[in-house]
């Protein structure tokens, strides 16, 4: 049987969608499962505030509903996991959020998680999600690289900041596994892991991996709408 995992980039920047798509190549090796990456046209250029997060929920639900027949699982590829619980009402197919999957996968590789965020303003928002997920005590800390969009294009600068922030998480805050708190940073994973000598998780890859399993096994989530 052919299976198709729909990966949604909830911001409208197609370059990010392309990055996400590249990140999945490592998981595309002859699995008989196709990843299809979609850009949410209605999304903001980047998701940087709670309003951005909430603004994508309804169009994302509509996108999920329109692809429901074609998909065996969905991945929401933004570290704020926007609309994760609403999406699980829009379909009974598994819906994986990359923050949830990245953090939970990290717990299989280490005891205390360090998160590398892009912007400091996202940290309290992420903290609310971690508390709602119930794993905040396993998070050693979250630090931001504090780079604007244009600087992220510079691999040397970005790699330098990620290394610096990662080292503080490991050396000063006790993290023994790192999660990159943003979709599409997969290109830095290997180098960072080698430099810092701790496991480093790309959350999109972690979620995509869990989506393959969920798709293969045919997990079905309970229809919340019906029991309400």
> 42 to 101, contacts with its own copies by CB under 8 A?
48-51, 53-55, 57-58, 61, 83, 85-86, 88-90, 94, 96-97, 100-101
Cβ atoms of 78 and 11 within 8 Å: the answer is yes
Q: Least distance (Å) from its own copies to the CB of residue 53?
A: 8
Q: Which residues contact 10 (CB under 8 A, 6 or more apart)?
A: 40, 43, 47, 56, 60, 76, 77, 78, 82, 83
Smallest gap from residue 215 Cβ to its own copies (A): 10
Q: Cβ 131 to its own copies, closest distance in Å?
A: 5
User: Which H or E run includes 209?
Assistant: helix 203-217
Q: Which two tokens stand for residue 36?
A: 């299809």
Residue 24, CA distances (Å) to 21, 30, 183 in order: 5, 13, 11
**Torsion angle in degrees (nearest 10) through CA of 30, 5, 101, 124:** 140
At its nearest, how many Å lie between its own copies and the CB of residue 201?
Answer: 8
Q: Which of 45, 153, 160, 190 is close enough to bind its own copies by CB under 8 A?
A: 190
Asked whether the beta carbons of 125 and 53 are under 8 A apart, the reply is yes
Closest approach, Cβ 3 to its own copies, in A, equals 9
The residue among 63 and 206 lying less far from its own copies, judged by its C-beta, is: 206
Within residues 165-184, the interface with its own copies by CB under 8 A covers: 174, 176
Q: Are 178 and 113 in contact (CB under 8 A)?
A: yes
- Which of 16, 38, 78, 104 is the binder for its own copies (CB under 8 A)? 104
Residue among 18, 119, 152, 173 that touches its own copies (CB under 8 A): 119
Backbone angles phi, psi at 188, to 5 degrees: -90, -10
147 is a site residue for its own copies (CB under 8 A): no
Q: Which is nearer to its own copies, 96 or 162 (CB)?
A: 96
Single out the residue of 15, 149, 157, 217 in contact with its own copies (rule: CB under 8 A).
217
Residue of 15, 34, 107, 157 interacting with its own copies (CB under 8 A)? 107
> Total number of residues binding its own copies (CB under 8 A)?
83
Q: Which is nearer to its own copies, 13 or 50 (by Cβ)? A: 50
188-191: long-range pairs with CB below 8 Å, 24+: 188/155, 188/158, 188/159, 188/162, 191/159
Segment contacting its own copies by CB under 8 A, of 5-13, 30-38, 147-155, 156-164: 30-38
């Amino acid at each position: 049987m052919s299976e198709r995992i729909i990966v949604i980039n909830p911001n409208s920047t197609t370059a990010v969608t392309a990055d996400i798509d590249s990140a999945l190549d490592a998981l595309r090796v002859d699995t008989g499962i196709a990843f299809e990456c979609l850009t949410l046209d209605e999304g903001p250029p980047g998701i940087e505030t709670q309003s951005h997060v909430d603004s994508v929920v309804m169009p994302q639900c509509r996108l999920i509903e329109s692809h429901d027949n074609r998909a065996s699982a969905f991945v929401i590829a933004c570290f704020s996991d926007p609309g994760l619980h609403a999406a699980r009402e829009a379909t009974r197919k598994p819906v994986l959020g990359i923050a949830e999957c990245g953090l939970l996968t990290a717990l299989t590789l280490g005891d205390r998680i360090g998160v590398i965020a892009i912007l400091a303003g996202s940290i309290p928002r992420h903290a609310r999600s971690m508390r709602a997920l119930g794993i905040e005590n396993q998070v050693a800390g979250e630090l931001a690289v504090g780079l604007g969009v244009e600087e992220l294009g510079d691999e040397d600068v970005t790699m330098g900041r990620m290394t610096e922030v990662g080292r503080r998480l490991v050396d000063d805050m006790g993290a023994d596994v790192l999660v990159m708190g943003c979709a599409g940073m997969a290109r830095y994973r290997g180098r960072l892991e080698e430099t810092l000598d701790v496991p480093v998780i790309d959350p999109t890859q972690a979620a995509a991996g869990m989506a393959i399993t969920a798709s293969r096994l045919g997990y079905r989530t309970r229809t919340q709408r019906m029991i309400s």
